[in-house]
Amino acid sequence: MLNVISSETLLSHTQNFSCIGHEDLPLNQCTNRILAKDIVATENIPTFKRSTMDGYAVQAVSTYGASESNPALLFIKETIDMGTPPRLPVEIQEASKIATGGMLPDGSDSVVMIEYTDPVDPQTIEVYKSVAPLQNVIDVGEDISIDSIQRKKGDVLRPQDLGAAAALGIQKLCVYEKPIVGIISTGDEIVPISQAPDIGQIRDINQYSLSSQIIQNGGCPVFIDNVPDDFDALFAACKKGIQSCHMLLISGGSSVGMRDYTIDVIQKLEGAEIIAHGVSIQPGKPTILARLNNIPVWGLPGHVASAMIVFHVLVRPFVRHLSGELSPPFYSNQTVSARLIRNVSSGQGREEYVRVRLEQSEGTINAIPIQGKSGLIRTMVQADGLLTIPENSEGLEQGVLVDVILL
Amino acid sequence: MLNVISSETLLSHTQNFSCIGHEDLPLNQCTNRILAKDIVATENIPTFKRSTMDGYAVQAVSTYGASESNPALLFIKETIDMGTPPRLPVEIQEASKIATGGMLPDGSDSVVMIEYTDPVDPQTIEVYKSVAPLQNVIDVGEDISIDSIQRKKGDVLRPQDLGAAAALGIQKLCVYEKPIVGIISTGDEIVPISQAPDIGQIRDINQYSLSSQIIQNGGCPVFIDNVPDDFDALFAACKKGIQSCHMLLISGGSSVGMRDYTIDVIQKLEGAEIIAHGVSIQPGKPTILARLNNIPVWGLPGHVASAMIVFHVLVRPFVRHLSGELSPPFYSNQTVSARLIRNVSSGQGREEYVRVRLEQSEGTINAIPIQGKSGLIRTMVQADGLLTIPENSEGLEQGVLVDVILL
C-alpha cells in the first residue's frame, strides 16, 4: 500500500536539499541564469557628470531670467570632444559646446539644449530659456552608486541586470550550475523512438516530454537508459544515474502493481531515504520521492499526462531550488484568470489538477476542461493550462473564476 | 527633423518581412522553437487496445450483474506478456491476466481491475464488479488518430508537443532558424567592457542588454563592432552586418543631433528604404526602421533604458515574426494587473511607457512608477514592468487598475 502525503508536505522537503555548485560565466551566457553572488557596485556610474542632450554646458546661474525677449549672452569657451575630458573650466557667463553623453567641464552644473540657443558670432551665443542645476545632466553616481547591491544571490538574471553588470565593467558573473537531471524510462513494452514498435509495444514518450520540461526550468536533461520491468536492470541504471546526476527521474513502475519495481530498487540504493510513496494529488498519486545524499530520486507515474503534471507540480520546484532560485517573484505565477464553463467534480482528500483549454469569448477567457485519461498525450497537447481543485473541495461550479496555471 | 509615425503603423510593417529559413532538429533541441511544418499523425496511437490498469482482460458482458454477493466466475486463459501480442483470444466467461500498458487480446473489450477479483484456483477467478466496454482501456487511435494535425506551422513547441512527436516516432522536427541579429554600438565615448574607461568615457552597456533581449526572444545575437561617431566607420560596420545577419541594430546616433550619423548611413546603403525616422513613443522617439531586402535595419536611441524599451515594444515583434511565430497565444501577454499608486501625467500625441516596480500589499498588487532619466540602467534594474499610457490620454489617475507588461 502507498503511504500518502500531501503535495504541501512533499514540497516542504525542498529545503532539505542544498543548491549545487556555481560557475563564472561571461555576460552573454548569463541570460535567465541564477546569481550565486550579489552584484555589488565597485564604482559610481557615471564617474563624471554627463550631458543627456546636445547643447551647452553652463553654470545654471548664468541663465537665470533668460527668455525669448531677454536672452542671456554667453561666451563660448570650447567645444568638448566626446570621450575625453574637457580642457577648460566654465565660469559664469561662459558656455562650452557639448553633445549627448559628453562630460561636463569643471564649473558647469547643467546643459542648455541647443534648441534654446542661437549663435550671435563664433564666440558668443544667446540663451532663451533658463536651466536649473543638474538639468539635462546625469550626476556622478546618479545611475549606480558605489557599494550599492544591484542584484542579489538567487535572482534570475534579466537583460537589464546584465546591462548593469556591463556598466560596472563586470565581465563574468558567478551563477549556479544547471542541475543535471537523469531520466530512466522503464517498461517491457517501451521502445526507443528510433525503433519501429512491434505489435504490443509503444514508443518512449516520457523521455522527451520530461527532458523538455527540465530544459524549460533551467535544468540539463541526460537520458540514462530504457530498462525493462526488471529489478536488476533498473538497479544498475539507477546506480549509473546517481553517479552523474544531481537529480534522477524514473518514469513508470512507481505504483505497487505487478510490474512496479521502482520502490524496491530505491530502497536498495545505499543511503536512500524514502520521503514519500504516494502523494494526495490526482493524477499522480503513485509518485515516489527519495533522498540520496543531496540527490532527489523520483519515481514518476508512467502515464504520460500524469508524469508531466507531477513534474510541473512537484518536481519543478526541486529543479528550481537546486538551481539556486530562492523564490520566484510573486507576480510571476504564470497563471491566467478564466471562467470555468462547466461544473467539475472532485474526490475529497486529494488535490486535483484538471487540464483545460482556454478560449476567448466576448472579452472573457473561458476555461474548458479536457476529457480524457491520464495516459493520453493528446490531453496535454490540447491543454493550455491546469486548474487546481483543493484537497478539501468537492469540485468547482460552472461560472466561477479560476486561476489557470499555464503549461 | 524627424518624420514621426505611430507604433501601430510601424508594427504593421512586420508583414512586409518574411520569415527566414528552416532546419530539421532532433526533438531534444526543439523546446521553445517554432514549427515550420505541421506535425501530422501518420498512424493511430495506440495501434492496439492498451490496458490502463493491472487486472484481467475480459468481454464486458461476462461481468454484467457481478457483485460482492454474486461474483462472476471466469476461466483464466493466459498471462499476457508485456510488449508482445497475446497468444490466445478471450471468449465469453474467460479472462487473461494483463498489466498496465498491456495489449488486449482478441475478443476482449475491457479490463477488470485486480482489486475487484479474487483467485479461486490457478485456473479461475471471481469478479466482484461489472465493467463496461472500453473501461480501463485506451482504444486504438484514442490518443492520436491517423491524419490528425497535432501542432501547426507557427506554433511554439512545448514539452507535450515533443511528447506527441515522440509517440508518432518523429525523430526530427522542421523548425524555423533563429534569426541572427547584429548589434553595432556607436559613440566616441563608448569603450568595450574589457577596457578601463578613461575620464569622459563609459562602457558599452547596450550590447549586453540588447543581446540578452534577443536571446530571450529566440534570436541569436552577434556583436559586429564598437564604432566612433563617424560616417565611414559606421557605414563599414553596417555593410559587414548586413552580409551576415537577418536583422541589424545600431545603438546610438539615431536622432538628428550633432553626432547622429545613423540615418545618413542607412540612406547610403544600397536598396535601403526608410520606413520610419521617429516613432510617437516616449521614451524612444528617435527610432529608425529601414528595410534592406528582407533585413530590418534599426537605429535605436543610445540611452540605455530607451533602447531596451524600444526593443521590447517595437523590435521584439519583428524578431518573433522573422522566427516564424504567427501570433502568440492570446493568454500569453505576460501582463499583470496592478493598482497605480499615484497620478502619472503624459503628453498627448505620444504613447508613453512608464517603468514600474510591483509590490504586494494586503492582497493587491501595486504599481509604483520609477523616477529617473531614460539614460539610467538603474531604472530598468529596479523595474518589474512597463505600463502604457495611450497616445490620446493625458495620463492615468492614482488608483486605476493598469496592465503591467512584465520585463
| Judgement on whether residues A36 and A88 belong to the same structural domain of the protein | no
A198 with B375: Cβ contact below 8 A = no
Among A158, A306, A312, A366, the strongest candidate for a mutation testing the B interface, having the largest count of B CBs within 10 A, is A158
Residue that is last in its domain, among B299, B322, B345? B322
Cβ(A402)–Cβ(A389) below 8 Å:
no
Selected residues 360-399 of chain A with any CB under 8 Å from a CB in chain B = 360, 365, 373, 375-378, 380-381, 383-385
- Of residues A169, A257, A381, nearest to B203 (C-beta): A169
Give the A:B interface size as CB pairs under 8 Å: 303
A271 Cα to chain B: minimum distance (Å): 31
In chain A, which residues have pLDDT < 70? 1, 333
Interface touch B199/A407, C-beta < 8 Å: no
B102–A200 C-beta distance less than 8 A: yes
Provide the pLDDT for residue A333.
64
A143 contacts B100? CB cut-off 8 A:
no
Q: What are phi and psi of A49, to 5 degrees?
A: -70, 125
Question: Residue B87 gets which letter from DSSP?
Answer: S
- The burial of B122, by beta-carbon neighbours within 10 Å (0-12 exposed, 13-18 middle, 19 or more buried), is given as exposed
Distance from CA of A191 to the nearest CA of B (A): 9
The number of CA neighbours under 13 Å toward the Cβ of B306 is 23
Does residue B234 belong to any structural domain of this protein? yes
Say if A328 falls within a structural domain: no
Q: Which of B103, B164, B331 sits opposite A358 (nearest CB)?
A: B331
| 10-residue stretch averages of pLDDT, chain B, 407 residues long | 90 95 97 97 96 96 97 97 94 96 97 97 97 97 97 96 98 98 96 96 97 97 96 98 98 87 96 96 96 97 96 97 87 84 91 96 93 92 95 93 93
Of A151, A138, A132, A162, whose CA–CA distance to A44 is shortest?
A138
Same domain, B202 and B275: yes
pLDDT for B70:
96
Looking at the DSSP bridge assignments, the partners of residue B344 are B396
Same domain? B199 vs B271: yes
Sequence-distant (6+) residues with CB within 8 A of B284 are B301, B306, B309, B310, B313, B314, B353
H/E element, B386: strand B385-389
Residues 239-278 of A with CB under 8 A from B: 255, 257-259
Q: Is residue A327 in a domain?
A: no
Beta carbons of B305 and B381 less than 8 angstroms apart = no
The Cα–Cα gap between B348 and B393 comes to: 6
Q: Is residue A340 part of a domain?
A: yes
In B159-205, alpha helices (H): 159-167
**Looking at chain B, which residue has its C-alpha nearest residue A201?**
B83
Give the E-state strand segments of A59-100 in sequence order. 72-79, 94-98
What is the phi/psi pair of residue B21, to 5°? Answer: -70, 175
**Is the separation of the CB atoms in B149 and A398 below 8 Å?**
no
Residue B67 forms contact with A (CB below 8 Å): no
CA distance linking residue B182 with residue B179, whole number of Å: 10
Contacts of A321 (CB under 8 A, 6+ apart): A14, A17, A19
DSSP helix/strand/coil, B231 = helix
Inter-chain CB proximity A199 and B257 less than 8 Å: no
Q: A interface mutation test: which of B158, B310, B371, B386 has the most A CBs within 10 A? A: B158
Chain A residues within 8 A of B208 when measuring between CB atoms = 27-28, 159, 162-163, 165-166
Cross-chain Cβ contact A82/B187 below 8 Å: yes
Q: Does A100 touch chain B (CB under 8 A)?
A: yes
Mutate to test the interface with B, among A88, A104, A178, A209 (most CBs of B within 10 A): A209
Question: Residue A228: inside a domain, yes or no?
Answer: yes
For residues B242 and B283, state if they share a domain: yes
B234 and B274, same domain (yes or no): yes
Residues B214, B310, single domain; the answer is yes
A41 and A74 together in one domain = no
DSSP assignment, residue B17? S
Residues B238 and B317 in one domain: yes
From the CA of B55, how many Å to the nearest CA of chain A? 9
> Please, what sign has the CA dihedral across residues B389, B390, B394, B400?
negative
Residues of A in contact with B202 (CB under 8 A): 45-46, 50, 101, 167
Amino acid at A127: V
In a domain, B110, yes or no: yes
Contact A308 B202 (CB under 8 A): no
A331, A362, A371: best mutation site toward chain B, by most B Cβ within 10 Å? A331
| Under 8 Å between Cβ of A323 and A178 | yes
* Same domain? A38 vs A149: yes
Q: Around Cβ B231, how many Cβ atoms within 10 Å? A: 12
B335 inside 8 A of chain A by CB: no
CB atoms within 10 A of CB A87: 11
Residue B192 burial by Cβ neighbours in a 10 Å radius (0-12, 13-18, 19+): middle
Looking up cell 498519486 gives: A285
Closest CA to A130 of A62, A69, A75, A77: A62
In which domain, by residue range, is B56 found? Answer: 50-138
Beta bridge partner(s), residue B239: none
Residue A389: inside a domain, yes or no?
yes
Distances (CA, A) of B374 to A53, A166, B2, B191: 12, 17, 19, 20
Inter-chain touch B198–A302, beta carbons under 8 Å: no
Is B83 within 8 Å of chain A by CB? yes
Query: Across the interface, which of A143, A197, A381 has its CB nearest the CB of B160?
Result: A381
The type of residue at B18 is S
CATH number of residue A372's parent domain: 2.40.340.10
Going by C-beta distance under 8 Å and a sequence separation of 6 or more, which residues neighbour residue A373? A303, A305, A379, B52, B138
Contacts of A200 in chain B (CB under 8 A): 48, 82-86, 102-103
**Cell 535601403, residue?**
B272
Provide the chain A residues 105-164 that lie in CB contact (below 8 A) with chain B.
Answer: 114, 138, 142-144, 150-151, 157-164
Q: Which residues of chain A make contact with B26, given a CB cutoff of 8 A? A: none
B295: domain CATH number is 3.40.980.10
Q: Is A255 exposed, middle or buried (0-12, 13-18, 19+ CB in 10 A)?
A: buried
CB contact under 8 Å between A161 and B331, yes or no, is no
Residue B88 grid coordinates: 490466445
How open is the CA angle B368-B370-B371, to the nearest 5 degrees? 135
What pLDDT does A205 receive?
A: 97
Q: Are residues A199 and A78 in the same domain?
A: no
**In A228-304, beta strands by DSSP E:** 247-251, 272-277, 281-282, 288-292, 295-300
Contact between A16 and A291 under an 8 Å Cβ cutoff? The reply is yes
Give pLDDT, residue B199: 93
Asked whether the beta carbons of A307 and A251 are under 8 A apart, the reply is: yes
Query: Which residues lie closer than 8 Å to A405 by C-beta, 6 or more apart?
Result: A312, A333, A334, A335, A385, A386, A387, A388
Q: Are residues A191 and A301 in the same domain?
A: yes
Å between A25 CA and nearest CA of chain B: 13
* Residue that is last in its domain, among A291, A322, A353: A322
Which residues in chain A are contacts of B114 at CB distance < 8 A? Answer: 257-258
Are both B30 and B163 inside the same structural domain?
yes
Last residue of a domain, one of B284, B299, B322: B322
d(C-alpha A370, C-alpha A213), whole Å: 21
Nearest-by-Cβ selection for B163 from A169, A187, A209: A209
B83 contacts A201? CB cut-off 8 A:
yes
Name the A residues in 19-58 with CB < 8 Å from any B CB.
27-28, 30-32, 45-48, 50, 52, 54
Q: Is A370 within the bounds of a domain?
A: yes
CA atoms of B92 and B63, how far apart (whole Å)? 9
Facing residue for B83 by CB, picked from A171, A188, A338: A188
B300 touches A: beta carbon within 8 Å: no
CB contact under 8 A, A52 and B407: no
What is the distance between the alpha carbons of residues A323 and B279, in angstroms, rounded to a whole number? 41
Q: Please count the structural domains in chain A.
A: 4
Interface of A with B in 182-201 (CB under 8 A): 187-191, 193-194, 196-201
Q: How far apart are CA A99 and CA A82, in angstroms?
A: 7
Which residues have CB under 8 Å from B142's CB, separation 6+? A376, B46
Per-residue pLDDT tens for A32-62? Answer: 999 999 999 999 999 999 999 999 999 999 9
Q: Which three cell numbers stand for residue B240?
A: 559587414
- Flag if B258 and A28 touch (Cβ within 8 Å): no
Q: Quickly count: other Cβ atoms within 10 Å of residue A331's Cβ.
A: 18
